Each structure stands twice: as C-alpha cells, then as structure tokens.
Structure 1
C-alpha cells in the first residue's frame, strides 16, 4: 500500500519547545491511511502541540529494517531531539533476519539516538500482534506470530538496558477488518489514534519537563 500524503516535518503549537523524531517502517510512515494527519505522527503531533511547540520530523519508509534505520541515523545529519517514537522490527521478522543481528542493530540504534542525537526519552513500540491479524493466511499467520512474540520478549530486555528508553505496549483493541487497512496488515486511523494516545499517556506519567537549549551531539 502507498505511504500517505502530507508533510514529514514541521513546527506546530505553542509552549515549551519539544523536538520529536518518529523513526521506523511502514507503520511509522503511516501506511494504511490517506494522509499523515490520520497517521501516527500526525495524530501524535496534534496531541503534543496542545501544550508544547513541537518541532517534529518523520524518518520512515515502507520495508525498513533495523539495518536500514541504523544506516540512516549514521549517514544523515538529522540534528538533535528530545523525544523519539520507534516502530521497527516487523520487517526483520518477516525477512528472516537472525534475532542476534536484529538485537545488535536495535541496541546500536538506541545508543546512537542518545549519543549522537541527544535523545532524552525513546519510546520503542512493541511488536504488533501479528498472530491476530485477521487477513493473514495460515500457516503464515501462526509462524510469523510466534516469531514476533519471541522478538517482542527480547525487545523488552533490550529496552531495559538503555536508561533513556521505554517499552511502549500497544493496546490494540481494534484488530478487525473495520479498523485495519485493506491489506489486513497495516493499521487504520483508529489504531493510529490509539497508538498516539498511548504515547501521550506514557509521557504524561513521566514528563520530560521544560526543554531548554539543545544538547550538543557526542
């Protein structure tokens, strides 16, 4: 499915400054809706900008793996950020990337975000419950679901090893054909809304505080 129309960076809202990076794969890119305002980034920025001046950037592409994301972070001068939301790993699972390589890449992504891009808080989204996706045929759904569960358990441990990172559980109560995209694999607008709300609640429970001047990259 195509990635949605709409901007991938901007400055929105009033209040304390916040620099946001959304990093990841097709779900981070918003595949499943027609416009970015209905995707994860658009809905999250709309929520955060009610209290903050959000300088935001979306770095995501369909098919992205942890290997792609790590190369992108190392090659691009993205600047400094305070808050990041990550959606990565499903394509590693789908493409047969060994778990050890995925884990190494994930640790390095978290480290690079902190040391090079100044991240104060990183929310790494949990793996989606692929084993419950309604339109995936069997036995593919079962096989991918089992592998996803193993990666998800490992992700929890990896995130615990990075002080700035948090594991973001996804409360996906809308896993039916009405709320998912046509392909039965990507989120629809209701799921993106729930995802953005989950980030907002997590941030509210552990605020960053008022952001001062950007920190220099290490």
Structure 2
C-alpha cells in the first residue's frame, strides 16, 4: 500500500483507533524506569567507544527491571565482547516522547560531548499520536541536525518502529491502524537518514511475545537483548562475531 493511501485510510479509522486506544490505556500498566543509573562502562580502562542511546521510553530502558538489562548496557557488552576494548554507554530517554520532544528536551540536557556512536529510538509515539508526515519530518529532521551539531564526530543510527501488528498489547484492529501510521513514519525516517548523514537500520524483527514486558508494549530484558544483537549487525567494525552470537543465545 502506498503512503498516501495508508494515510487516508488511517485518518478515516481515527474513531476506531481512539476507542481501542482508550481501552488499551485502561488495562495496560504504566511501568517505572529500571533500577540503576543511566550510564556505565563495560571493560576496564579508558573507553574509546562511547555509546549514547537516545529517544523515548525504550531508550530509557522502560520494561527492564535492571539498568544492566537495557538496550544501552547490552549493546555495549556486545561491542566489548567483539572488540575486547572498554565501551562506555549512556541511556537518555523520556516517556511518551516524540522526535520533536527528544530534540527539544532531551538533547540539550546531555552533558557529555564525546560520544562515538548515537543510537536513536524514536517514532513509536509519533505514529500512535498520529503525527503527520510533515510534522515528523520537521521533528525527526531537526533531531538529526541537533545530534550532528552536538556530537559532530559520532556515527548516528536510527532504529525504525517495529510492526505494530506484533505488539501484544494492541488488539488486531488497532495494530492494523497504527501499522499504517508506522509505514509513513518509517518511510520518512529512512529518507531523512539518507539525506542527513545517518544510518537507518532495518526494523527489529519481533520474535514472539516472549521479548515483551508485562505491559505487552515495551521490551523486557530478552527483548532488549534481541534488539542489541540486531543493532550491532549494522555498526561497521562492531558487528557481532560468530562466537559472540553463540555465547549470547
């Protein structure tokens, strides 16, 4: 389905999305952030690789019980396992944040200026909030500019939104409608990454409900592990060695 048709159908189905969304909100628990500070290091010594995970609640690790089970910590561990060098990491996320909100309220409050790799996890809230294509273009495009300005030497990667039909918390009808919005968001995000010196990796394949937290929406420790393994394959020079993949299963 082309993006124009996806947009038209999704807007026609807004009343159903609102009704179903309110039902999901009533029954889905709101999870706290994981225990522990938002930064750390894997390996001893000066870290030449410094990793920033920035975005919405998933970037903050919501869904994991411990900070060591979040995306930033687990991706840093995989990179350290591959290279043998120490890797520093930092999680910086905000609940329910859109791309524009991450640009305006998260980026300015990160003190560190020496990250070598920045992983962006945004788009889900833009999709579920029915942000238009132009609004996401402005928000995400501005976020990419802000990241390149603040960390000009970092390699920047964006992890697109997963298939909404695979999210356990969403009834099939809502998953279908939000999937139309995700199609638009992911297409625009990939275009902006091509234009603004960032890498859009493939969307994370969902391997069943076992990788989701009790809210059926955020990842749990296993889900963040799968996500870290997926992202690592797209980082030049840091891709998982076969031995690492075997040990992490």
TM range (shorter): 0.7 to 0.9
Say which is worse superposed, 130-139 or 18-27, in terms of deviation. Answer: 130-139
Matched, 1:168 2:198: no
Q: Which residue of 2 aligns with 1:201?
A: 233
Residue pairs, 1:1-218, within 5 angstroms? 1-14=31-44, 17-50=48-81, 51-71=84-104, 72-74=106-108, 76-163=110-197, 165-176=198-209, 178-203=210-235, 205-206=236-237
Q: Quick check: which one's helix share is greater?
A: 2
Kept in 1, the 8 Å contact 2:61–2:67? The answer is: yes
Say which is worse superposed, 68-77 or 114-123, in terms of deviation. Answer: 68-77
Determine the C-alpha separation between the residues in 2 that align with 1:88 and 1:123. Answer: 11
C-alpha distance after superposition, 1:47-85 (max 9, x if no partner)? 223323223221112111112211132455442311011
The alpha carbon displacement at 1:199 in A equals 2.1
Determine the C-alpha separation between the residues in 2 that align with 1:52 and 1:111. Answer: 30
For residue 233 of structure 2, give the secondary structure of its aligned residue in structure 1: helix
C-alpha distance after superposition, 1:17-45 (max 9, x if no partner)? 01211101111111222112112112112
Aligned length: 205
For residue 67 of structure 1, give the secondary structure of its aligned residue in structure 2: helix
Kept in 2, the 8 Å contact 1:66–1:105? The answer is: yes
TM, length-normalised to structure 1? 0.85
Going from structure 1 to structure 2, the CA distance change for 1:158 and 1:199 (only over 3 Å counts) comes to same
C-alpha distance after superposition, 1:81-116 (max 9, x if no partner)? 110111001111112322211111211211221122
Determine the C-alpha separation between the residues in 2 that align with 1:155 and 1:43. Answer: 25
Runs (4+) off by over 4 Å = none
Determine the C-alpha separation between the residues in 2 that align with 1:119 and 1:99. Answer: 29
Q: Greater Rg, structure 1 or structure 2?
A: 2
Determine the C-alpha separation between the residues in 2 that align with 1:174 and 1:13. Answer: 30
TM, length-normalised to structure 2? 0.75
Q: CA RMSD in A?
A: 2.1
| Structure 2: gaps spanning 5 or more residues | 1-30, 239-249
